[in-house]
Amino acid sequence: MTKTTSTLTPQQQALKNDIIGKINRHFGKVIEEATPQMIYGACALTVRDRIMEKWAQSHRQVREEGSKKLYYLSFEFLMGRLLCTNILNLMQTEDYEAVLTDLGYSLPEIAELENDAGLGNGGLGRLAACFIDSLTTLDLPAYGCTLRYEYGLFRQKIVDGYQTELPDTWLEHGNAWEVARPEEAVKVSFGGDVSTYWEDGRIKVAYSNERTVLAMPYDVPLCGYDSKIINKLRLWGAQSVTDFNMKAFSAGDYARAIEEKELAGIISKVLYPEDNHTEGKELRLKQQYFLVSATLQWILNEFEMRNGTDWAKLPDKVVIHINDTHPTMAIPEMMRLLMDEKGLGWDEAWEIVTHVFAYTNHTVMSEALEKWPLDLFRRVVPRLYMILEEMNRRLMERVEAFYPGDKGKHDWMAIIAGGQVSMANTCLATVFAVNGVSKLHTEILKADIFKDYYMMDKERFHAITNGITFRRWIANCNPELTALINNTIGKGWLKDSEKLSKLAEFAGKKAFQDRFDKIKRANKKVVADYIWEHNGVKINPDSIFDIQCKRLHEYKRQMMNVLHILAEYNRILSDPQYAKSYYPKTYIFGAKAAPGYKRAKLIIKLINSVGELINNDSRIEDKIKVIFIENYGVSIAEKLVTAADVSEQISTAGKEASGTGNMKFMLNGAVTIGTMDGANVEMYEQVGDDNIYIFGLRSEEVDARVRIMGNDEVKYIYAQNAALRGALEMLINGTIVPDTNLFMDLYNTLVFGDYGQADTYMVLRDFEDYMKTHEQISKDYQDRPKWIAKQIMNTAMSGFFSSDRTINEYNDKIWHLDPIKS
Ligand code: 26Q
């Protein structure tokens, strides 16, 4: 209901009139009749208007300055909701809050009505979203390029403890932020036959029988925090070329017309839900070609419009970033366009291509390294296949010159070998810059999987540690803590994150500690209420909130966490002294498993079953609660990171390339229990020994342990560690669920292993250290001033993990973009 009296400023009154105007003109309602959904829609439209006004201006500026542009190609952009981010970035949070309160709503309540844009699986996709926010905040001209999936990552519903998958219908009420650009649609063709012939002394290419779809761009304008430029995220959606391909139809090619229509219908339908894993699916390959071909046609069209056909200048005006190998086909596609469409020779085209592309690797897991079967590749993109063959032939000459006579290197480094196309090698053979996403990860790339390429050209390898945007991951999600920091050290830290370190001097101050702790307590209460509403479990907000939320994967070791909870539970039951001194804990998990990853799904069932057992066992007097948060994603993460006391970052050392959740928890004042893996190593460097709990084998020890000690060590640990054995046996003795077979696979893989190698991920080997570290944490937590100081130190020292720092590093080392002038 609208209030009649108001204390709005004139600017806020104008905003209010704008919103009411949108309700009238867009929804045809008077404000009194508006539903909350309409209020959301009206707010979004007013924000959009403000962005649009800046957009036209910024567009002209970039054009006039002739700026170099970054195109960030990624199959995932996990944006989450945009209303609050945009409002914050326009510096209008207070105005919108005031107006919505005046209208009888609150900003958070309205913001929650927006569907998350869940166009990503996890870390890699969220990183792209943080990057585009920082790029824009730093006034650097950049475009994110991805697919407009009709269905983002599946919605997870837990039924009887099991994960089930439902479609994510995020577009069902429309997308307030996108603008279709039909005038910039392009065609993308698949398959068919390719023949080459000579004409005027040049080789020409003719296609026949190909299948063509239309790529329709939808642009989402993006504003940075207190900045000038408007960048955009371009989402490509597939459409049929004409409703029926009339030409083919009238020529009697009925089947082909239908096929094209069908292809157009499925290409941008759904995001593949595998993370750190690839399967050679034909449709995924087609998605890849669709995105890269559409994007490159657009890039070349834009360049030609502004700069004419002096293609040699392309590297001065354009840099294309390949986010993991998924958009690798951009490389041969650029060769194709430059040669077949623009008439360049191989050498000229190659000179350009090798100065335009840069590539980031995000994983060393061998099952995630993309390789495509030759036959499939040749069938879907025959012309690109021809180009890759020639690239490979030339590459092998270079390899032979550097490693004479070393046949093993040929196979390992080849673009095409063993009946497969290697996407990583295609990148490594071409790009001018390669980077890993943390120091340790980059060291592993250089010493291990990319060693042979590293030796050939060391200069182009970079270590650039990931980061997160502080605007979303503290300013928006933790406004109280943000206000406390602003009041203590001033506002500059949101744009200059190193300034956060000024907080360190307040870490030991009683008054500051009290305020910091009160905010954490309030955030824990919010999560406790959420759990009560969604899980029906009562949570004690004064218990230790210990949170592990991220994709479910064996290497992330949710399993170790569960086994440890079981060990604590057993000990509470059997050891009264321990039970008495046990400080209450709430263990919170959130994780989606790839739908085809059976073991990961079984671990979800295990977590839920363990929760069922422990949460309902009155003997332990509510000392432990185990909660599984359904449908973990960006928006619920925004709540969880503010409420954690302990952040679980416990991957097998050497396996997590960086991690970015670790940074979000740290920023919001959680203390990490973690292995020396990924960016944890650098978090340790920032906060020092006293403010982080490091345990477990180091990455260089992991491989050696398997090699030297093998399964004997596992047998020994099993025999000697009674707490661990007790927990493991619960998996198969009917305590957790009556069916003793249900979790047998989880037991077997740890104790006996797959293919004879027990404990692949060092769960058993790291267990004892993990347990002891947890005991220390419980003890330290109870020394409140000491513990709160640790939490404050984590916030204070997290400035390094701002994605603004990351983007500045990319820009200095790789992209060399200039910020737009005022
Ligand atoms: C590939 C081919 C076919 C289908 C799916 C895929 C695929 C999709 C997603 C392969 C991998 C991914 C995602 C990988 C990922 O998220 N990696 C994470 O990247 C983060 C950002 O750099 C790091 O912080 C994490 O450590 C890393 O696991």
Strand pairing category for 230-240 and 211-223: antiparallel
Q: Is residue 256 among the annotated active site residues?
A: no
State the burial class of residue 249 (Cβ atoms within 10 Å of its Cβ: 0-12, 13-18, 19+). middle
Mean of pLDDT values over 789-802 = 98
Q: Is the CB of 122 under 6 A from ligand 1?
A: yes
Q: What does the DSSP assignment read for 474-506?
A: IIIT-HHHHHHHHHHH-SGGGTSGGGGGGGGGG
**Would you give the distance in Å from CA 556 to the centre of its chain?**
15
Of all residues in the chain, the percent with pLDDT exceeding 70 is 99
Q: Which of 557, 737, 523, 535 is nearest to 627 (CA)?
A: 535
The minimum-distance atom of ligand 1 relative to the CA of 656 is 26
pLDDT at 705: 83
pLDDT at 2: 46
Structure token pair of residue 546: 């210990």
Residue 1 pLDDT level (bands cut at 50, 70, 90):
very low
Contacts of 493 (CB under 8 A, 6+ apart): 470, 485, 499, 500, 502, 799
pLDDT at 253: 81
Contact in structure between 795 and 667 (CB atoms under 8 Å): yes
Q: Spell out the SS3 assignment of 689-714.
A: HHHCEECCCCHHHHHHHHHHHHHHHH
Among 326, 515, 550, 623, the one annotated catalytic: 550
Structure confidence by residue, pLDDT tens digits, 469-479: 999 999 999 99
Contacts of 616 (CB under 8 A, 6+ apart): none
Q: Is the CB of 278 under 6 A from ligand 1?
A: yes
Whether 707 has a pLDDT exceeding 90, the answer reads no
Whether 301 has a pLDDT exceeding 70, the answer reads yes
Residue 511 pLDDT level (bands cut at 50, 70, 90):
very high
Residue 448 pLDDT level (bands cut at 50, 70, 90):
very high
Q: Is the CB of 438 under 6 A from ligand 1?
A: no
Which residue, judged by its Cα, is nearest atom 25 of ligand 1? 659
Whether 221 has a pLDDT exceeding 70, the answer reads yes
How far away, in angstroms, is 121 Cα from ligand 1 center? Answer: 8
Q: Is the CB of 773 under 6 A from ligand 1?
A: no
| CB atoms inside a 10 Å sphere around CB 308 | 9
Mean of pLDDT values over 88-107 = 97
Contacts of 74 (CB under 8 A, 6+ apart): 124, 125, 128, 144, 145, 146, 323, 324, 326, 327
pLDDT at 706: 78
H or E element at residue 188: strand 186-190
Structure token pair of residue 743: 């979790």
SS3 label, residue 821: coil
Q: What is the mean pLDDT of the chain?
A: 96
Among 336, 553, 556, 585, the one annotated catalytic: 556
Contacts of 57 (CB under 8 A, 6+ apart): none
Q: Is the CB of 129 under 6 A from ligand 1?
A: no
| CB atoms inside a 10 Å sphere around CB 346 | 15
Residue 755 pLDDT level (bands cut at 50, 70, 90):
confident
How far away, in angstroms, is 133 Cα from ligand 1 center? Answer: 20
Which residue, judged by its Cα, is nearest atom 4 of ligand 1? 278
Give the integer Cα–Cα distance in Å for 582 and 334: 62
pLDDT at 244: 59
Q: Is residue 660 among the annotated active site residues?
A: yes
Structure confidence by residue, pLDDT tens digits, 355-394: 999 999 999 998 889 999 999 999 999 999 999 999 999 9
Q: Is the CB of 326 under 6 A from ligand 1?
A: yes
Given its phi and psi angles, is residue 80 left (phi above 0), alpha (psi -120 to 50 degrees) or beta?
Answer: left
Mean of pLDDT values over 31-52 = 96
Residue 245 pLDDT level (bands cut at 50, 70, 90):
low
Structure confidence by residue, pLDDT tens digits, 771-781: 999 999 999 99
Residue 756 pLDDT level (bands cut at 50, 70, 90):
confident
pLDDT at 165: 98
State the burial class of residue 201 (Cβ atoms within 10 Å of its Cβ: 0-12, 13-18, 19+). exposed
SS3 label, residue 235: strand
CA torsion sign, 100 to 102 to 105 to 109?
positive
Contacts of 245 (CB under 8 A, 6+ apart): 212, 253, 256, 257, 260, 261
H or E element at residue 372: strand 371-373
Structure confidence by residue, pLDDT tens digits, 309-339: 999 999 999 999 999 999 999 999 999 999 9
Q: Is residue 664 among the annotated active site residues?
A: yes
Structure confidence by residue, pLDDT tens digits, 172-183: 999 999 999 999
Among 426, 660, 672, 773, the one annotated catalytic: 660
Which residue, judged by its Cα, is nearest atom 21 of ligand 1? 124
Of all residues in the chain, the percent with pLDDT exceeding 90 is 91
Contacts of 73 (CB under 8 A, 6+ apart): 145, 146, 291, 292, 295, 320, 321, 322, 323, 327, 330
Contacts of 375 (CB under 8 A, 6+ apart): none
Q: Which of 85, 88, 72, 170 is nearest to 124 (CA)?
A: 72
Q: Is residue 362 among the annotated active site residues?
A: yes
How far away, in angstroms, is 274 Cα from ligand 1 center? Answer: 8
The minimum-distance atom of ligand 1 relative to the CA of 284 is 3
Q: Is the CB of 437 under 6 A from ligand 1?
A: yes
Q: In 577-649, where do the E strands start and end?
A: 585-590, 624-629, 646-649
- First-to-last alpha carbon distance for the chain, in angstroms, is 42
